[in-house]
């Protein structure tokens, strides 16, 4: 039987497992998801990327009392000391935007201007990093959190620490709306439809975001699964990654089929796609999480420690 997990635990492990699967080669990812595969025979390392590390840093910041300063202190620990890393490595390449934000914070302490205002090509990681804050706001206000400006501001503020522009904030809002619908027990396909409708309604009513709504038009297609896979763009941008996630989820009916399809279609930029897919299915049903993969993640104690703190904080306890 799958390890018993609270909803926030399913989110944490779902994100970490999906990120790790997406970080493997196609051959190794397909081996890892085979129910009878014994990891003792693996000739590869099962390890998450800095995307999960930074997300664990956000979970800890929320558990201890969410503030932008707490998040940035945890980000600095990730960068300088390798905290939240699966192999304790210190990040020295990639994630340049995040690292520059950390440097800006340490130099200025100005939390309102440390994130880049120029849209970056690889900004998809904000979709995952926003989820701890989104889950916290859903726990506080239920699916109606969308009507609470302070709750939405918290999600946008988290994004702005590294990517301070509207399209990144809207992407984080969209995936947060999807998670809220899943938590509200909507069917997956209804949740996908509802989240897009909520996105358009919410951001259309706010002038600062209106100009970017056109970039989300493909998400609003009547049947996004009808898109030819050749027309999907794998460039690591928030908008295209959202399209890819919605396309996979609309084209499949199980976590196994969804992960297999993502592995097959996306040769690059698939960590975030699979991370979000696995997390969403984990939230739908704990039995969607492979116990073998939890055991691999638990080889590093940090996820379990983050989960213990999250549960004890009561910040992520969902209202019935």
Domain boundaries, the chain: 115-251
pLDDT 10s digits, 69-86? 999 999 999 999 999 998
pLDDT 10s digits, 193-245? 999 999 999 999 999 999 999 999 999 888 899 999 999 999 999 999 999 99
- Note the pTM of the prediction, 2 decimals: 0.95
Count of alpha carbons within 13 angstroms of residue 71, beta-carbon side: 24
Average pLDDT score over the chain: 93
Lowest mean pLDDT among 38-42, 185-189, 222-226, 251-255: 222-226
SS3 234: coil
Alpha helix positions (H), 205-270: 207-210, 238-251, 255-265
Percent of the chain whose pLDDT exceeds 70: 97
Beta-carbon neighbour count of residue 26 at 10 Å? Answer: 12
Q: What's the Rg (C-alpha) of the chain?
A: 18
Supply 55's token pair.
Answer: 């997300």
Task: Identify which of 298, 315, 314 has the alpha carbon closest to the alpha carbon of residue 47.
Answer: 298
**Per-residue pLDDT, 41:** 93
**Per-residue pLDDT, 221:** 84
Q: At which residue do the structure tokens 């358009």 appear?
A: 200
CB 58 within 8 A of CB 158: yes
Supply 255's token pair.
Answer: 């976590």
Count of alpha carbons within 13 angstroms of residue 294, beta-carbon side: 21
Distance of CA 144 to the CA centre of its chain: 21
Supply 180's token pair.
Answer: 């809220």
pLDDT 10s digits, 19-58? 999 999 999 999 999 999 999 999 999 999 999 999 999 9
Please provide residue 116's backbone torsions phi and psi, each rounded to the nearest 5 degrees: -65, 145
pLDDT band at 1 (very low <50, low <70, confident <90, very high): very low
The two most distant CA atoms of the chain are separated, in Å, by 56
**Per-residue pLDDT, 93:** 66
**Per-residue pLDDT, 3:** 63
Specify the higher pLDDT residue, 100 or 319.
100
SS3 29: helix
């Amino acid at each position: 039987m799958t390890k018993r997990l609270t909803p926030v635990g399913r989110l944490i492990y779902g994100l970490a497992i999906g990120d790790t699967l997406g970080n493997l080669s196609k051959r190794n990812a397909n081996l890892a998801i085979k129910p009878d595969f014994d990891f003792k025979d693996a000739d590869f390392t099962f390890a998450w990327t800095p995307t999960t590390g930074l997300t664990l840093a956000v979970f800890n910041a929320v558990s201890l009392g969410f503030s932008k300063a707490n998040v940035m202190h945890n980000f600095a620990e990730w960068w300088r000391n390798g905290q939240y890393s699966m192999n304790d490595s210190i990040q020295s390449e990639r994630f340049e935007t995040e690292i520059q934000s950390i440097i800006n914070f340490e130099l200025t302490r100005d939390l309102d201007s440390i994130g880049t205002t120029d849209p970056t090509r690889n900004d998809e990681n904000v979709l995952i990093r926003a989820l701890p804050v989104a889950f916290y706001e859903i726990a506080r206000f239920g699916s109606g959190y969308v009507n609470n400006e302070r709750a939405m501001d918290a999600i946008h503020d988290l994004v702005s620490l590294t990517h301070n522009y509207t399209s990144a904030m809207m992407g984080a809002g969209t995936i947060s709306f999807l998670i809220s619908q899943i938590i509200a027990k909507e069917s997956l396909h209804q949740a996908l439809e509802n989240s897009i409708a909520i996105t358009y309604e919410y951001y259309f009513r706010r002038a600062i975001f209106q100009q970017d709504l056109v970039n989300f038009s493909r998400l609003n297609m009547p049947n996004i699964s009808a898109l030819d896979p050749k027309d999907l763009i794998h460039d690591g941008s928030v908008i295209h990654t959202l399209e890819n996630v919605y396309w996979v989820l609309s084209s499949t009916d199980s976590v196994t089929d969804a992960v297999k399809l993502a592995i097959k279609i996306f040769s690059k930029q698939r960590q975030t796609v699979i991370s979000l897919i696995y997390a969403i299915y984990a939230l739908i049903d704990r039995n969607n999480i492979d116990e073998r993969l939890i055991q691999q993640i638990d080889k590093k104690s940090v996820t379990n420690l983050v989960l213990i703190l999250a549960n004890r904080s009561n910040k992520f306890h969902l209202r019935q």
